Every structure is written in C-alpha cells, then in structure tokens.
Amino acid sequence: MRDLINLQDYPLDQPGSTGWLALLEDCKSKLAEDGLFNLAGFINADALTKAVAELKPVLADGSFTHARKHNIYFKKEIGDLPADHPALTEFETSNRTICADQMGETAVIRLYEWAPFAQFLAAVMGKPKLFTMQDPLARVNVMGYHEGQALNWHFDRSEFTTTLLLQAPEVGGDFEYDQDLRSDDDPNYDGVADLLEGRRTPTRIVLEPGTLNIFKGKNTAHRVTPVQGDQDRIIAVFSYYERPGVQFSEQERIGFYGRAA
C-alpha cells in the first residue's frame, strides 16, 4: 500500500509500533475534543491523481443523481414538534453517486479492503473490531457535486463517518458543523432552530484533496456548502460496522442509488 498511502507520516502498516501508537493517541484526542480529526496528505499525490482519473468517467456516465428535499432529521415528522416548527425547515440536497460495484479494483476499493485500515479505525473509535460491509452497492460510495449541488443540514444515522476527499471544487463545497448540537437525552429543538435560522455560527473547515476525515455526526449537525465553479467536489465514503454481514434493504438501495442490485 506504500504506493497509495503516505505510510511515512501515517504508519498504519505497523500496528503497535511507536509511530502507530502516537498517531492513535493524537487521533483519539482530537476526536474527543473536536468530534473529528483530519489526516491531511493521507493519500500520496500521484495516487490521488490516478484515483480521480479512475473515477471521473464512471461519475460522468454511470452515476445516479440523488436529489431530494428534506429536513435535518430526514423524517417527514417529529412527534414532539408541530409541522411548522423551524427545526423542521426543509432544504435541497443533490449529488451524483457511484457504488462499489462500479469501481472495480480502484484505489478507494483497495484502501477500503486493506485490513490494517479498518484495524486502525477501530482502535481510534474504541471498537473491538470493524467489518467491511457486505452490501455490494453501499460498502463504498463516491459522491460528485457539481456547481449548485450541496449536502444540506443533517444528523448522521451512524456514530462515525469515514471519508476521503479526492477533489476539491474551485469555490464552495466547505464542511460546516455545529458540534454536539443535540444529545441522546436532549434533542435541543430550539438550538436546531437557531442554527437553521442563522442565530448560531457553525464551524467551517476547508479540506485539502487527499485528506482522510473521521467524524462523529450522530449528534453534530453538519452540511457541505454549495459547490461553485467548473470543478466538481469528489469524495469517497467508507462504511464499516461492528458486526459482519451488514447489507441495506432493497428499499434503501433503491432510495439511495436508484437500483436494488
């Protein structure tokens, strides 16, 4: 994997080594404090160029445009709230998605299936083990955002999200988040309304291509701002679970990808 990953700075191939343990503790500390951490330059520059070149034709010719209007909860209603509550404000989300079964043996698939990668992620997240997803479509997705497209305000269903930015747009496509806006015990609907109506200022980060990002998004509201310009934002999303054999339902696949198989 040395051709793909910057193993000099990020020695994921040496579990238990001094460098691996130091990286682990740094990532755990940042995750606890900030709710995320970034490994800039995780992918080597030449490998990054190749990875984008592998995926662009598939995004252009074989992607599914996923566009929908939704609120921050991705639910039509919340039992505690009236339908006109500002926390239920709806936004537009749109991107183009390709699935793992369209990627062959590309760099992102190689990384996803490399066992030391999942081993390190599990250690950072404090999990005994993480397993690759069995679903042939959902295990790895690559999303492309062209001008005007965005991923709007939402909370994640999963505890952690693992992404790799492959290409940044000329303008826009920034990641914004409001850390721990809610908790498992307190939905903080008023705080959500304040964010959506501009009375709270989210944290904004601009990632460089080749950056690996681990993010705790279950209770942290977040979005990607609209892309501007001719260059797309391209990002890979890796799905791991604490149990083996996880698959989406046929209905979920159709909803996310426009097809069941």
Please, which residues bridge with residue 163 across strands?
Answer: 213, 237
Banded model confidence at residue 80, pLDDT cuts 50, 70, 90: confident
Mean pLDDT of 67-72: 95
64 — phi, psi (to 5°)? Answer: -105, 125
* One-letter identity of residue 235: I
Query: What integer pLDDT is reported at residue 161 of this predicted model?
Result: 96
Please, which residues bridge with residue 5 across strands?
Answer: 43
Closest CA to 211 of 41, 11, 18, 29: 41
Closest CA to 237 of 177, 148, 151, 176: 151
| Residue 28, pLDDT above cutoff 90 | yes
Secondary structure element (H or E) that encloses residue 167, with its range: strand 161-167
Mean pLDDT of 92-115: 97
Map tokens 């080597």 to a residue: 44
Q: What is the mean pLDDT of the chain?
A: 97
| Residue 232, pLDDT above cutoff 90 | yes
Mean pLDDT of 57-67: 96
Query: What integer pLDDT is reported at residue 139 of this predicted model?
Result: 97
Closest CA to 145 of 162, 177, 170: 170
Q: What is the pLDDT of residues 196-220, one digit of tens each?
A: 999 999 999 999 999 999 999 999 9
Selected from 1.20.1260.10, 3.50.30.60, 2.60.120.620, 3.40.50.970, the CATH number assigned to the domain covering 18-257 reads 2.60.120.620
Banded model confidence at residue 9, pLDDT cuts 50, 70, 90: very high
Query: What integer pLDDT is reported at residue 132 of this predicted model?
Result: 98
Q: What is the pLDDT of residues 163-199, one digit of tens each?
A: 999 999 999 999 999 999 999 999 999 999 999 999 9
